[in-house]
Amino acid sequence: MAPNPPRGFIIWLHGMGGSGPANEYVKTLFESAELKESKWAFPSAPRRPISFKGVNRFFHGYQGGIPAWFDIYAIPMTADSPRDEKGLLETVETIHALIDNEVAAGTDPENIFVCGFSQGAATAFATALLYPKTLGGGVVFAGWVPFSSPSIINRITPEAKKTPILWFHGEADRMAVFGAGQAAPPFLEKIGMTCEFKAYPNVGHTITPEQYQYLESWIQKCLQSSSSS
C-alpha cells in the first residue's frame, strides 16, 4: 500500500497592486486531496513608491505607494528591463523566513512550493533559486528573470539547482512580454538547471483554468514523488 503523500506548504505571491487576502480564492480552485490538505500562505507586499512614471496608467487609486515586492522601472517588462535587485533581495529574505519557519515546524523543504503571478512570479522564481535547500518547486505565471548580477547568481547552491521550476507564459502577454519568459530556460541552463516551460497562444497577462489544472497535477506528482523517495 502506497504511503499517503505528505502535506504540502504552498506560498502564493500576488502581482503588483494586489494583496494576499485578495488571492486566497486560489486555494478553492483545486479538487485534489493533496492541494486541499496543503497549508497555504498568501503574504502581502508592502506599499512602496514606484519609479516608473507611467505606473498610474496601470494601477489607479493608490495613496502612499503601490503594493509591490520591489521597484519597477518600466512596463511592459522585457528580458532587458532594468531590475531592482536590492529590493528583490530584501523581499526574498522575507519569503525565506516564511519557509524557514515552516521547516522549523517540521515540513520537509521538498514539500514546499513557491508560486507567483507577474511581479510575484519573478519573486517566486528568485525565492526558489536563492533558497539554500531543494524545494518542492518554484512556479512562475507570466513572470521574468528578476536578477542577472553574477554576485547573486553565485549564491545559488547545488541543492537549490535541484528545485524543479514550472513556467507558464501567454504568448499575447503585454505586461510581461513573452520574450521575458523565453529568456528563463537558457538562463537556467547556463547555471545548470532545467525548466518546464509552457507557452499559451492567444493568452495575455492572466492565469487560465488550464494552467491551474496543470499546476494541480504537477504539485500532486511532486508530493507523491516526495512520499516515495
227 flagged as catalytic: no
d(CA 145, CA 176): 11
Specify the DSSP element, H or E, that contains 151.
Answer: helix 150-153
Kindly name the residue from 205, 217, 227, 229 that is annotated as catalytic.
205
163: Cα separation from own chain's centroid: 13
Q: Which of 148, 173, 226, 229 is catalytic?
A: 173
d(CA 191, CA 105): 31
| DSSP per-residue codes, 116-146 | EETHHHHHHHHHHHHSSS--SEEEEES----
Separation between Cα atoms, residue 165 and residue 176, nearest integer Å = 18
Annotated active-site residue 173? The verdict is: yes
User: Would you call 84 a catalytic residue per the annotation?
Assistant: no
User: Which listed residue (38, 84, 108, 118) is catalytic?
Assistant: 118
How far, CA to CA in Å, does 209 sit from each of 37, 87, 130, 153? Answer: 20, 32, 29, 33
Partner residues linked to 167 by β-bridges = 140, 197
CA distance 184 to 83: 15
- Sheet holding 137-141: strands in order across? 39-41, 9-13, 112-117, 137-141, 165-170, 196-200
Which of the residues are catalytic? 118, 173, 205
